[in-house]
Each structure stands twice: as structure tokens, then as C-alpha cells.
Chains A and B, each alone.
Chain A
Amino acid sequence: MTTRRIWIRLYRWLALMAAVAPAVWLAWRAWAGRLGADPVETLLHTTGSVAFVLLLATLALGPVARLAGYGWLAAPRRWLGILTCLWAAGHFGVWLGLDQFFAWGFAWQEFQGRAYLWWGAGALVILLMLGVTSTDGWQRRLGPGVWTGLHRLSYVAAVAALIHIHLQTRADYLLVYVYTGGLAVLIAARLAAALGLGWRKRIS
């Protein structure tokens, strides 16, 4: 193995650890009884926030690698994508298991007429789908065209998640603006790349 490959590996593991670290932090706080006055809310908020930030980070790796001209920068993309999916699933699990306490009827009732939950569910379904098809096997089975097209849905998931967050925000929209700005930059970068504009051409 070349030293270059070792460095890339290390980089990938570091990215993975960064994405897992909040879970260790939460587990420690849970063990120490330090999840705050309302542990359910702490868990809901943290899992949701980590999922969204990870999603943005995963989407950012491609453009950043291209912009920097170092393809290997995008190496942890798949792992981060899978972790995004796990965090989102954990977020849903906290809601269904700890908040609703598996009261299915009531959980369904909660969905009635609450658009923010539907947007969250839409984002989650996409993320789960992408997580399942993230393996080499699925990549081969679907073929590069279909697979890439399918995985572009990650942007749709990000928009849906953003709407999910926006709809439940009250009074203080600062974080929503930051998230929106970040996502807008990523989408603009993707569109620019798709249209073959600007820096992408020069690099590739």
C-alpha cells in the first residue's frame, strides 16, 4: 500500500470518527444523567441536528474536492452518507420510541395535518433508500447512470429536511438562515458543475 493510500485511509477513519463522536458524547451524557431537563428533547434535537449537518458535509465533499483539485478529499463520502442515514434513523427512532413510546395510533395522529413531520419523513425515506443502495453491489446492479441519478436525490432530502426544520422554528430563524445559505451554496455548486461552468472545467 502506498503512503498516499494510507493517508487517505486515515483521513477516512478520522471523518468516520468525527461523525460517530456525537453518539459517544450522547451516550456518555445519558450514562452520567446529563441529558438536561428533558432528555427526550435533547436526544431529538441532537440526532436531528447531527443528521442534517452531516448531510450537508457529505454533499460538500464533492465540490470541495473539485474546487481544491484533490479528488481524494471526497473519499469519506460514502461513509458519511451512511452515517447521515443512521443518525436520521436514530432521530426517527427517538421520536417514535422515546417521545411517542411506540403508541402507533397516536404517532399516526400526530402526523395528521402536521406538514413538518411529512417533510421529515420524506427526507428520511430518501436517506434510507440511498443508504441501502450505497453498496458496491447496488452500484453495479443499478448501473452508473441510474445510481448517480438516484443519489442526486440527496439534494431533495436536504431540501425536505430544511423545510422540516424551518416549519418547526419559532421566532429565531438564525440557524435556519445559516442552513439555508449552506445548502444554497451546495446546490449552486452542483448546478454549476452540471452545466460545466467555471472551475470544474479547468480542473477536470
Chain B
Amino acid sequence: MRRGRRSRIDYPVPPASEITPKNLAVSRRKVLTTGATLFGGAMAAPLLRATADDWKARIQAAEKTDFKVDDDPTPRQRATSYNNFFEFGTRKEQPYMRAHRMETDPWSVTIAGEVERPGEYALEDILAPHDFEQRIYRHRCVEAWSKVIPWIGFPLGDLIERFEPTSRAKYVAFETLVDEDVMPGVARGILDWPYREALTIEEAVHPLTLLAVGMYDDVMPPQCGAPLRLVVPWKYGYKGIKSIVRIEFTEERPECLWELEQPEEYGWYGNVNPNVDHPRWDQSRERRIGELGRRETELYNGYAELVADLYPEGPDAYW
């Protein structure tokens, strides 16, 4: 029924110079210090604002951007009751039923590794200088289902720039909270926690890559990764790590949890690619949550035009 149906995405296309990682490769420091054009207004903001930032109050005021897709967003109830957050259990509804027990306020994030300003920062301070925006992205899970989500957040690149990675920073690694008191999947040790994910620095500063603090005009529900999660719309959902407590810059490629667990099923890059077959799920199609039948899956989840330059050897070499 729906096969063959493709939805056009609609987004402000940044000039190629802004999205090629070559800038960074040539002279990352230069880009980082003269990055005002690349990163918008974030440079003007002080590193840390001393005042307590009421960031939750700023969520509803988030600017609606032109990042959208043709399809309607998935109804909020569906999107927030069907989640993979294995710390809370492997069934899709378990995060919805259990994640509210997670304490997300106060929250702090450790910035570590190859960076000029390491430290443990309160979430308010992390968020204070960043203006939030709404972006409607497709979300494609490696399990061959998908959603369309109106996220609220800011480009990860803006944050990275503030903390000044050194020239040795080639990768950015993330970790999720571990709390066995409220996380049954952690208490039972079903995976080698903590949840760890990583991006190349070029992927991390790509303008599409978002740190999200909310969705559907509201704060992030706990089951979706409150208070701070990663959104990388051209990658499978497992790359979009939830409830981030640590961001580390590294020279070596970090190992990721799913990659270690099942390397043949969860590639390090995790780029959405209908042509790279998967042992368990046919990746050429996907079921939009709540629909019958399947839609066609697009290369890089439909964002090929914006991200193909990140992968010079062609999509199939980065899976």
C-alpha cells in the first residue's frame, strides 16, 4: 500500500561550506575561533552564565524552524509510549511505565577528555547560553520502525564550540545515567552498562546534529531521554543516546555499547542505509508507528543531500 511512497523533506539547506567537515580538518582551531558564521550567535554567549537559568520556561518559546518533513508528526501519545530505553526494560511500553522514577532535576553533565574546559557542569549552566529551536525530524529505528518527532533543542556543535576541543579531539563519546535503583535493566545487568555512544567530531558539529531538551512543545519526557539527549536524524535511533551525563572528547574511536554487544547488527556509524542488509530486520522498508504496512526507507533517512559529504567513500562503507 505505502510502498513507493516517499515524503519530501523540507529544510533550510546550509551552504555546502557549512556542512563539509573539511573546514574542520583543515583548521579546526580557526573554525572554532571564527566560527560565528558557522555556529550562529552562540559565540556571543558567555561560556557559563552565573544566573540560574530557568531553561524549562524557555522551551515553549522555542523558535519554529524550517527543519521539517512533509509527513505529520507522530501523535505525541504514540511517540512517548513506544520507546527503546533498555535501562528500563526491553518492552516498548516499559520506559513509559517506569522512567518517571528517574531523578532528572538536579542534573549535571561531565565534560571530559581532549577539551580546554573539562569539568562537571550543572544542566542549567550547560543550557544557559543556548537558544532553543524546534526541528521536526524523522526518526528511524534499526528495528525497522519510524516516527516523526518535533524536537526542541540546539545544535550540538554550539555546545562543542563553547568547551573548546583540542586539536586531538577526533571523536565525541557520550554516556547515559546509570541508576540501578530505578533502572531494572541495569539492576539485572542485561547489557554492559553504561549505555555509550559516539560520533566523529565532524558528525557531532554537523548542523543537523541536535542536543534535545524537549519535544512536542514540552520538556523531554523521561522515557525519551530527559533531560538531555542526542538526536542525529540520519542515523539509526540507537545512536541517539538518552539522558546524557558525560560527554568526552577522544583521539581514538570510542567503543559503543551496542557495537560491542552485537557488532554485526549495530554498526559503529549506524547510518540509515536501506542497502546495508541486517541479519534481523529488512532495512529497505520501515513501519511508521501506528500505520499498517510499510514505507520505503531512504538513504541517510532522507537527509542524504545534507550529510553525504561526511562519508567520502560512499554510504555503504560507513555502516
Tell me whether B82 and A37 are in contact (CB under 8 A).
yes
Chain A residues closer than 8 Å to B1, beta-carbon distance: 101
Give the contact-size bracket for chain B.
20 to 34
Q: Which A26-52 residues sit within 8 Å CB-CB of chain B?
A: 36-41
Q: Which of A38, A100, A110, A116 is in CB contact (< 8 Å) with B289? A: A38
Q: Which of B78, B188, B292 is in CB contact (< 8 Å) with A37? A: B78
Tell me whether A41 and B86 are in contact (CB under 8 A).
no
How far is B282's CA from A109's CA once the two chains are assembled, in angstroms? 8
- Number of chain A residues close to chain B: CB under 8 A: 24
Chain A residues closer than 8 Å to B93, beta-carbon distance: 36-37
Q: When each residue 161-172 of chain A gets 1 if its CB lies under 8 Å from chain B and 0 otherwise, what string results?
A: 000000110111
How far is B184's CA from A172's CA once the two chains are assembled, in angstroms? 11
Tell me whether B81 and A116 are in contact (CB under 8 A).
no
Known: A100-B293, A110-B282. A171 touches B82 (CB 8 A): no
- The answer to the question of B280 belonging to the interface, with a C-beta cut-off of 8 Å to chain A, is yes
- The answer to the question of A98 belonging to the interface, with a C-beta cut-off of 8 Å to chain B, is yes
Closest CB-CB distance, A63 to chain B, in whole Å?
A: 31
- The answer to the question of A146 belonging to the interface, with a C-beta cut-off of 8 Å to chain B, is no
- The answer to the question of B294 belonging to the interface, with a C-beta cut-off of 8 Å to chain A, is yes
Closest CB-CB distance, A91 to chain B, in whole Å?
A: 16
How far is B46's CA from A26's CA once the two chains are assembled, in angstroms? 56
- The answer to the question of B285 belonging to the interface, with a C-beta cut-off of 8 Å to chain A, is yes
Chain B residues closer than 8 Å to A40, beta-carbon distance: 287, 292
- The answer to the question of A103 belonging to the interface, with a C-beta cut-off of 8 Å to chain B, is yes
- The answer to the question of A9 belonging to the interface, with a C-beta cut-off of 8 Å to chain B, is no
Tell me whether B289 and A172 are in contact (CB under 8 A).
no
Chain A residues closer than 8 Å to B222, beta-carbon distance: none
Chain B residues closer than 8 Å to A41, beta-carbon distance: 92, 145
Interchain residue pairs with CB less than 8 A apart (25): A36-B81, A36-B92, A36-B93, A37-B77, A37-B78, A37-B81, A37-B92, A37-B290, A38-B78, A38-B92, A40-B292, A41-B145, A98-B292, A99-B287, A101-B2, A101-B294, A103-B293, A106-B284, A106-B294, A109-B284, A114-B282, A171-B86, A171-B90, A172-B89, A173-B190
- The answer to the question of B185 belonging to the interface, with a C-beta cut-off of 8 Å to chain A, is yes
How far is B153's CA from A49's CA once the two chains are assembled, in angstroms? 40
Minimal Cβ-Cβ distance residue in A for B1: A101
- The answer to the question of A113 belonging to the interface, with a C-beta cut-off of 8 Å to chain B, is yes
Q: When each residue 135-174 of chain A gets 1 if its CB lies under 8 Å from chain B and 0 otherwise, what string results?
A: 0000000000000000000000000000000011011111
How far is B93's CA from A109's CA once the two chains are assembled, in angstroms? 29
Known: A36-B82, A106-B294. A171 touches B191 (CB 8 A): yes
Closest CB-CB distance, A116 to chain B, in whole Å?
A: 7
- The answer to the question of B310 belonging to the interface, with a C-beta cut-off of 8 Å to chain A, is no
- The answer to the question of B279 belonging to the interface, with a C-beta cut-off of 8 Å to chain A, is yes
Chain B residues closer than 8 Å to A39, beta-carbon distance: 290
Minimal Cβ-Cβ distance residue in A for B86: A171
How far is B92's CA from A148's CA once the two chains are assembled, in angstroms? 41
Q: Which of A106, A114, A168, A174 is in CB contact (< 8 Å) with B285? A: A106
Minimal Cβ-Cβ distance residue in A for B277: A113
Q: When each residue 127-141 of chain B gets 1 if its CB lies under 8 Å from chain A and 0 otherwise, what string results?
A: 000000000000000
Q: Which of A37, A99, A114, A116 is in CB contact (< 8 Å) with B79? A: A37
- The answer to the question of B261 belonging to the interface, with a C-beta cut-off of 8 Å to chain A, is yes
How far is B280's CA from A113's CA once the two chains are assembled, in angstroms? 8
How far is B261's CA from A100's CA once the two chains are assembled, in angstroms? 29
Known: A171-B185, A172-B190. A99 touches B294 (CB 8 A): yes
Minimal Cβ-Cβ distance residue in A for B84: A170
Tell me whether A38 and B3 are in contact (CB under 8 A).
no
Chain B residues closer than 8 Å to A37, beta-carbon distance: 77-79, 81-82, 92-93, 289-290
Q: Which B68-89 residues sit within 8 Å CB-CB of chain A?
A: 77-79, 81-82, 86, 89
Minimal Cβ-Cβ distance residue in B for A110: B282
Minimal Cβ-Cβ distance residue in A for B282: A110
Tell me whether B294 and A103 are in contact (CB under 8 A).
yes
How far is B1's CA from A113's CA once the two chains are assembled, in angstroms? 24
Chain A residues closer than 8 Å to B78, beta-carbon distance: 37-38
Chain A residues closer than 8 Å to B292, beta-carbon distance: 40, 98-99, 101
Tell me whether B82 and A38 are in contact (CB under 8 A).
yes
Q: When each residue 104-127 of chain B gets 1 if its CB lies under 8 Å from chain A and 0 otherwise, what string results?
A: 000000000000000000000000
